[in-house]
Amino acid sequence: MKIKRLCLLLIPVLLLAGCWDIKDINKRFFPLIVAISKENDEAYTITLQMPIPQNVNEASRTVTVKANSIGSALEQVQLDAEDVIDYSQTQLIFIQSNLAKEQQAMQKLIHFVMNAKEIPSRALLAITDENVEDLLKDINQKLGIQTSSIYDYFNKGYDWAPEIFSIPIWKAYQSLFFHTQDLAIPVASAGKDTVLTFEGLDVFRKGEKMERISTAESLLLNMVQNKNEGGTVESLESADIHIINSSVKKHATMKNKRPVLSVDLHLTMRILEKKQDISDKHIQQQLQQRLEQRFHTLLQRLQEAHTDIFGFGQQFRQFIPYKELKNWRTTYYPNLQVDFNVSTTITQ
């Protein structure tokens, strides 16, 4: 009888096993943005933007710590916080350009995020020339700004502007090992009356910053990578046109060991406004010439820097022996010939 009573008393204890260490969601902070900078004294500054749990969509607070490594800084935040810091919902990593210009620091940061697994590898990357702590505080002070506004700015599915480029951390990690494709990261600063101002892309080769390209060139990169799903307005000498959609086809060949690539970009556009006596054909020619010139100017700069953010090298993996792929940027890419052809269709 005593044994039976003892078993009855132990049943509730057994049912609770495995749940005793679960932390209530109300006792967790979820940083949406992790901003990182590196000072001249080798110390890292980490600033977190976290929504206030009772008012998730309308308010947030920032927390800043300084330590000798990123891991130590994140640990210090946890020590100082009154609740658990949970990075599983982190959506964006903002990097201050003073860190981004150091190749080893960039490589170390990307490796840390991937290996630590605390921050999801789907989180996006962005760079700013501003002090990251001031940037987040400035955005928090803007009236009507939701805590997810910065991430939404880079999110393709949320009122996406076709010039804006986004890259997740796992792709940045992958680029450190690619021989035939380099990395581009969007650059932004706090807007005067808006959340952010887009300033172009920083181009990296194996974590080393090589170039900064403009917003117009960023649009071209999206088009050539077939990512242009939205529309943009282009002002020509004789008209304003709205590019509604784009599609691209590529065909790679080797001619006497020289890589040759045909890139055919087709645009569907609508004419918003034009000068009198200007034909549609003339407008189409102006747009085609502008984009082709813009493309070849950018390609020349990138070839001189031995940086392939278009990923053209990926088209030639079947033609180049595996052992030779590591020489793509120095041996093959500078001699790459790209026949870039733009065609257009006008719609109402």
Catalogue the long-range contacts made by 291-295 (C-beta closer than 8 Å, 24 or more residues apart).
Answer: 291/220, 291/265, 291/342, 292/340, 292/341, 292/342, 294/216, 294/217, 294/220, 295/220, 295/224, 295/338, 295/340
**Residue type, position 280, single letter:** D
The single residue listed with the structure tokens 């009772």 is 54
Token pair of 228 as six digits: 């242009």
Q: What is the pLDDT of residues 185-207, one digit of tens each?
A: 999 988 877 778 889 999 999 99
pLDDT at 137 over 90: no
Which range is least confidently modeled, 61-75, 106-120, 144-158, 264-278?
144-158
**Which pLDDT value is given to residue 257?**
86
Q: What is the pLDDT of residues 234-249, one digit of tens each?
A: 788 888 888 888 899 9
pLDDT confidence of 160, banded at 50, 70, 90? low
Cα angle 301, 307, 313 (rounded to 5 degrees) comes to: 115
Rounded to the nearest integer, the mean pLDDT of the chain is 84
pLDDT at 89 over 90: no
Token pair of 21 as six digits: 């260490």
Query: Cα–Cα distances in Å, from 204 out to 45, 228, 239?
Result: 22, 22, 36
**Which pLDDT value is given to residue 145?**
60
pLDDT at 77 over 70: yes
Which range is least confidently modeled, 56-65, 161-170, 300-309?
56-65
**Which pLDDT value is given to residue 274?**
84
Specify which of 7-16, 107-116, 136-145 reaches the highest per-range mean pLDDT: 107-116
pLDDT at 71 over 80: yes
pLDDT > 70: what percent of the chain? 84
If you average pLDDT over residues 48-69, what whole number do you get?
76
How far apart CA 218 and CA 110 sit, in angstroms, is: 22
Residues contacting 11, CB < 8 A, separation 6+: none
pLDDT > 90: what percent of the chain? 43
**Which pLDDT value is given to residue 50?**
83
If you average pLDDT over residues 267-279, what whole number do you get?
86
pLDDT at 57 over 60: no
